Structure 1
Amino acid sequence: MSITLRGRGNDSSRARGRRSHLDLGRRGEDLAARYLTERGLVVLSRNWRCREGELDIVATDRSTLVVCEVKTRSGHRFGDPAEAVTDDKQARIRRVTSRWLSEFQVGWCPIRFDVLSVDCTPGGEPTVRHIVGAF
């Protein structure tokens, strides 16, 4: 006897889609971290989580704390990756940054919020666009 699931697809296809999405995000964050390191920044945290959310990358250029949101896409069907950093997302990143500062007992320091837009179009070389002081 065989059973065919109709409608939303079977669990294994959803799991594969989610896994490939997560793999793409991980690849983008790896490329972004390497990009920052090659430009002299020191990565302090990656994928730091708390109850309010997550920070993709926290780095420093030795004078400024640089909080980086990484957005990765495999095409432009949904627009430029950086466009996904909405006002609500920016506010959440600021709140989570306050938690990070408290968790690591960091006193006052200059903070900059950057966005790294990573394009991983199949068949092409990945590109990283760094928007310094994005918000």
Structure 2
Amino acid sequence: MTREGGCLCGAVRFKAEGEPLNVRVCHCRICQKAMGSPFFARAQFDPRALTIEGEIASYATSAAIERVFCKVCGTRLFSRRTNGTATGVALATFDDRNAFAPTEHIWVSEKLHWLCIDDGLPQYQETLPPPAGGKT
């Protein structure tokens, strides 16, 4: 299956082939600042599954992640792992903004205090589920 999307002004368009590796809502402070929002809802894809047209720019928010946005309107589109293993696509930038639904919340230890998560999805204090045995 191919799903398409793009930025606010239309200068950047993308296609995502196949199914995402995962669909998560990240509540970490870096995502909050990078997105200008309480969280970053994204579908993560293998970079080879994405085709991007238009002028983009990026900004490294850590040694592991860079944020990608439209050079014209500034729409925040992607987060890319600098090692080339995955690209997160902002869910709201897909033409069908309901194409994917999150399956879990990560970094809830950093979520905004006024945000109530009551969707029944698993919540993890950091990025990964705790290992077997329950120790984090």
TM-score range, shorter chain: under 0.3
Higher relative contact order (CA 8 A, sep 6+): 2
Q: Which TM-score applies when normalising by structure 2?
A: 0.25
Q: Which TM-score applies when normalising by structure 1?
A: 0.25
Greater helix fraction, Structure 1 or Structure 2: 1
Greater strand fraction, Structure 1 or Structure 2: 2
